[in-house]
Amino acid sequence: MRTTNKYIVMAIGLGLVTLSACGSSSGSGGDSKTVTLVSHDSWAVSKSVIADFEKESGYQVKVLEDGDAGQAVNKAILTKDNPQGDVFFGVDNTLLSRALDNGLFQSYEAKGADLIKPEYRVDEDKHRVTPVDTGDICVNYDKAWFSEHKLTPPRSFADLIKPAYKNLLVTENAATSSPGLGFLLGSAAAYGDDNWPDYWKKLKANGVKVVDGWEQAYNEEFSGSAGGKKAKADRPLVVSYASSPPAEVIYADPRPTTAPTGVATGTCFRQVEYAGLLSNARNTEGGKALLDFMLTKTFQDDMPMNMFVYPVREGAEVPEEFTKYGPQAENPETMDPAKIAAHRDQWVKSWTSLLLK
């Protein structure tokens, strides 16, 4: 779900596949034994899981990580006539219409699509994308900071504009970052088409800080993250994910008994990520096999502890230690993809005018 690989630093050496090559690659290069996946920087899968796919399918997997989700989608659109690879992973519900309207994907109904939970299915008449995972974009807070300052953490969008939380929140640019855009859409869902700009005017007056992407916001500006502590960050509130607290626990050494960060559950926006067979892919059969694989129980069970997302397949298992520290929001804000398509670009333009000028 994603931005610059959120937990790649913590994941080094833990058996995750995070192969990276950017920009200048010629994609699969016509090699019928290689299937090339283009992704944002948060792709991470257990080596043993990929090895099983390669053994069973006969295809070698090559991964090209291409920056933040928004950046990766835009680049894939620009190169669609001569794509970098065969499959694209990581376009989410905030950017889906842009990809579909620009003809980024060709139709393919992946095996196992009938096992996808109904609430995550889209484009069922053409099957241009396959839902792969889901998660929640939410404000995270630094538990220690709020305890030390004897201040109750915010719980809702409305709390964030209160004077008590002045100069505490950092968020990502909605024009360049997937979580930043998700947070904007969440506020629009909460306050309505006409009233969300007034909400953001109040956030600006209350000292919200805007940075380009998740990596900077979470690991450099947020005081509750491992990276933020090293950087002596001074913002105890950040737009991140409901799955960020379990990552702070799982990758800590030694592991704490409780997560050092919490989630303001009244600020969440439900995100869904998709994969699709790229138009003009060189290895369409390999691409189809990889899409099929992404819906297998093996792959879906593997995602939570690697990419810190929830599976979309019925019957997939989520480890207890993941749900203990990062449960999904019970009532997240949502928005119909058609409405996102109709308003996204204008909303981002308005947001940029309000916050960055």
What is the average per-residue pLDDT within 57-62? 97
Which structural domain, as residue segments, surrounds residue 149?
A: 136-270+330-356
pLDDT for 327: 81
- Decide if pLDDT at 16 tops 80: no
Quick one: pLDDT band at residue 31, thresholds 50, 70, 90? low
In this structure, what CATH number is given to the domain that contains residue 17? 3.40.190.10
Distances (CA, A) of 289 to 9, 26, 28, 160, 339: 30, 21, 15, 45, 32
For residue 166, which amino acid is it?
K
Could you give the number of structural domains in the chain?
A: 2
Q: What is the mean pLDDT of residues 295-321?
A: 95
Query: In this structure, what DSSP letter does residue 173 have?
Result: -
Q: Are residues 77 and 108 in the same domain?
A: yes
8 pLDDT more than 60: no
Q: What are phi and psi of 116, to 5 degrees?
A: -70, 135
Q: Are 127 and 162 in a shared domain?
A: no
The reply to whether 199 and 76 lie within a common domain is: no
Same-domain status, 258 and 112: no
> What is the rounded distance in angstroms from the CA atom of residue 38 to the CA atom of residue 68?
12
Q: Which pTM does this prediction carry? A: 0.85
Whether residue 277 sits in one domain with residue 253: no
Residues 121 and 62 in one domain: yes
In a shared domain, residues 350 and 224: yes
Chain centre to alpha carbon of residue 284: 26
What is the predicted pLDDT for the residue at 126?
A: 97
For residue 225, pLDDT over 90 is answered with yes
Pairing, β 130-142 against β 60-65: unpaired
pLDDT tens sequence across 203-214: 999 999 999 988
Cα angle for residues 147, 149, 154 (degrees, 5° grid): 70
Do 122 and 34 belong together in one domain? yes
* Residue 3 placed within a domain: no
**Do the domain assignments include residue 185?**
yes
Residue 2 lies in a domain: no
> Could you tell me which of 20, 99, 17, 85 has the C-alpha nearest to residue 52?
17
Q: What angle do CA 81, 345, 351 make, to 5 degrees?
A: 140
282, part of any domain: yes
Kindly tell me if the per-residue pLDDT of 242 is higher than 90.
yes
pLDDT at 5: 46
Q: Which of 12-16, 124-128, 146-150, 292-296 has the lowest mean pLDDT?
A: 12-16
Which pLDDT does position 105 carry in this prediction? Answer: 98
Please report whether residue 64 resides in a domain.
Answer: yes
Instruction: Looking at the structure, tell me whether residues 145 and 263 fall in a common domain.
Output: yes
Distance separating the N- and C-terminal Cα atoms of the chain? 29
Domain-embedded: residue 105: yes
Residue 82 falls within a domain, yes or no? yes
pLDDT at 20 over 90: no
185 with 230, same domain: the answer is yes
* Range in 46-55, 162-171, 172-181 with the lowest mean pLDDT: 172-181
Tell me: do 127 and 243 sit in the same domain.
Answer: no
Cβ-based neighbour number of residue 38 at 10 Å: 28
For the four alpha carbons of 164, 170, 171 and 175, in that order, the dihedral sign comes to: positive
Please state, in angstroms and rounded to a whole number, the distance separating the CA atoms of residues 36 and 282.
Answer: 9
220 and 263 part of one domain:
yes
